[in-house]
Amino acid sequence: MKTIVLIRHAKSSWEQDITDLSRPLSKRGVTDAHLLSTSLDDLNFQPDAIFSSPANRALSTCSIFMENLGFPDELLKIEEQLYDFGGNRVLRFIKNMDDNLNQVMIFGHNHAFTELTNALGDRIIDNLPTSGLVMIQFEIDSWKDLQKGHTKMILKPKDLK
């Protein structure tokens, strides 16, 4: 069995005139990322690897989750392919992951994560909000055999407030 946890970056700030890759999290984004990550303590999910888009807002969200959940820095790999808004590059990345990885967390962007949630899971959503999290399990041994899985969890900040 393989499990993916997709986490959309927390709300970003538009206050500065900087590149899209450099945009930081807003105050609300930081608060929501802490709220979601601390709610996962009881889940007992231990990823074999954590992957993040190189965008500042995705990496910052990832750092908050890793710190709050006590995951070691060695698990993190920054992947250019995850800076994707359509989903095709992320899907290719997932299908090419090492088969020794059974549980992974991926931090990235919308619309890619909404599209992947709907394509790979068995629950349809309209939109994965900022800081939103989706866990999907697959009855496969190899990532290249990725097929429709079972959506185990969809968690949004408003679910916890």
| Numbered residues of the known binding site | 57
Q: At residue 27, what are phi and psi to the nearest 5 degrees?
A: -60, -45
**Angle, CA of 25, 39 and 74, to the nearest 5°:** 65
Which residues are annotated binding-site positions for substrate?
Answer: 57
In 3D space, the residue among 157, 137, 158, 161 whose CA is nearest the CA of residue 37 turns out to be: 157
CA distances from 155 to 11, 40, 53, 112 (A): 15, 10, 20, 17
User: Cα torsion at 3, 73, 32, 90 (round to 10°)?
Assistant: -50
How far apart, in whole angstroms, are the C-alpha atoms of residue 51 and residue 105? 6
**Angle, CA of 94, 81 and 126, to the nearest 5°:** 70
DSSP-assigned beta bridge partners for residue 29: none
